[in-house]
Amino acid sequence: MKKMITVTILSLSLLSCKHSNPLTADDRATGQGLHETFAGHFMIGTALSEPQILGADSSARKLVKKEFNAVTPENVMKWELIHPKPESYDFVAADALANYAAENNLFLLGHTLVRHAMTPKWVFEKKDGSAVSREVLLNYMQEHIRTVAGRYQGQVDAWDVVNEALNEDGSLRESPWYTIIGDDYIERAFTLAAQTAPNTALYYNDYNLFEPAKRAGAIKLIKRLQAKGIRVDGIGIQGHYGLDYPDLDEFEQSIIEFAALGIDVVISELDITVLPFPKKENQGADISMKVKLKAELNPYTKGLPAVIERQLGKRYEELFAVLNRHQDKISRVSFWGVCDANTWRNDWPVKGRTDYPLLFDRDMKKKPFASRLAPTM
C-alpha cells in the first residue's frame, strides 16, 4: 500500500516511514538495496530521465526498484515538456512514471510546478514579444497547477511547488513570475497547489541553500508563507555539490535552521562533481550557464584515477555523516540521476565532459564507497 502523507500536521515520522520493496533471490545474492541500508532513517531516491522512463532498455528501472524507494522525474513534469502549448498537454511520460512508481511502491515527487527556467515563452510573452498581464499569467498558473497537480492527485506524494525563486543574496529572483505578477506569485502557487492537492506534501526547492544569505532568504520566504497561513510542508535542498563545496558546517546549519521552522527537510537532487568548476562564483545549478569545452576542464575521460575516487568517497562519507546525524529532520535524500552515464553533470556547465558524481558507475555498478555511507546506529 502506498504511503499517505498527512499534510495538515506534517509528521516527520510519517514522511520517513518507508516503502518496502520485496527482494528477489537475485537481489539478495547481490546485497542490500541502498534504501534498505537507510530504512528507518530516510528514503533514498533518484531522478529518472524520459528515456529511462519510456525506453526499451529497462536496466535503469530495474536498478531503481532494487536500490531506491523514491523517484523524481528529471524533466518530464517540467512545464515545457508537460504543457508545451497553451491548450496542449503531453502526459505520456509523466503517466508512465506515475504508473511505474505505483506498481513498485515508490514515493513520487512531482517536479516542478512553477519555475523561471524550462517554461515556454508563450507563458510570459504575447506574440508581439510584450509581456502578458498579471491577470493572464495568474490564469495560466491556475490552469497549469489545477490540471497537472489535479491529474496526479493520489499518485504524486509531494510537489516541488516553486523551484529556484531566490537570488544568491537571498532576495527574490527577478524571474518573469516575479516581474509580471509581483512578489505574491509564490503565495499564489502554494495556495493553488494546496487547494488542488490537499493530500500531497508541498515543498520549496532551491540550490546553494548552504550559503548563509540564501539560507536567510529561504527562511524569510517560508516564514512569510507560514505567517499568511499558507501551507508549506518542506524544503528541498538540491545538493549539486563538488569535492570542495559546500562548507559542511554551513550545510548542517541550514538543515538545523530549516527544521526549526517546523517543516520537513529533504536533499532533493544530490550529486558531487569531481570536475573542475570553471567559474567559482556560481557553483549552484544555474542551467543558463554555458562554458566552452577545453581539455583541462575534462581531465578524466579515460577513467577516474583512484586518488580522485577516494576523495569522492570521503566527501560522500562526510556529507552522509551530517545527514545521518540529522535523520530525525530529513525524510528523503534523492540523487539527481541513476548512474554516471546519464548525469546532467556530463553536460553542465560544460557540454560533453566525463563526470562521476553518483553512487553508481557507468555500468550501473555500485561504487565501493557506497557501503561506507550507512548509518552506524
Which of 14, 287, 297, 364 is close enough to bind ligand GLA by CB under 6 A? 287
Cα 62 to Cα 23, 226, 257, 349: the distances in Å are 12, 40, 37, 30
Active site includes 164? Answer: yes
CB 114 → ligand GLA: shortest distance, Å? 12
Which of 157, 269, 309, 340 is close enough to bind ligand GLA by CB under 6 A? 269
Active site includes 174? Answer: no
Which of 163, 200, 342, 346 is close enough to bind ligand GLA by CB under 6 A? 163
Residue 238 interacting with ligand GLA (CB under 6 A): yes
Whichever of 182 and 352 has its CB closer to ligand GLA, that residue is 352
Residue 99 has a CB neighbour count (10 Å cut-off) of: 12
CB 147 → ligand GLA: shortest distance, Å? 20
Contact between 202 and 243 (Cβ < 8 Å)? no
Bridge partners for 153 per DSSP: 156
Interface map 107-146 toward ligand GLA (x if CB under 6 A): ----x-----------------------------------
> How far is the C-alpha of 338 from the C-alpha of 344, rounded, in Å?
11
Q: Which of 42, 34, 38 is nearest to 17 (CA)?
A: 42
- Produce one character per residue of 288-298: b if its CB has 16 or more CB atoms within 10 Å, e if not: eeeeeeeeebb
Which of 285, 339, 359, 370 is close enough to bind ligand GLA by CB under 6 A? 285
Residue 204 interacting with ligand GLA (CB under 6 A): no
CB 321 → ligand GLA: shortest distance, Å? 24
Decide: helix, strand or coil at residue 82.
helix
Residue 25 has a CB neighbour count (10 Å cut-off) of: 6
CB 47 → ligand GLA: shortest distance, Å? 8
Residue 207 interacting with ligand GLA (CB under 6 A): yes
Which pairs from 49-53 meet CB under 8 Å and 24+ separation?
49/74, 49/75, 49/337, 49/342, 50/74, 50/75, 50/76, 50/81, 50/93, 51/342, 52/338, 52/342, 53/93, 53/96, 53/97, 53/100
> How far is the C-alpha of 343 from the C-alpha of 356, rounded, in Å?
8
Whichever of 130 and 288 has its CB closer to ligand GLA, that residue is 288
CB 39 → ligand GLA: shortest distance, Å? 27
Which of 100, 107, 124, 344 is close enough to bind ligand GLA by CB under 6 A? 344
Which residues are catalytic, by number? Answer: 164, 269
Q: Which residues bind ligand GLA (CB under 6 A)?
A: 111, 163, 207, 238, 240, 269, 285, 287, 344
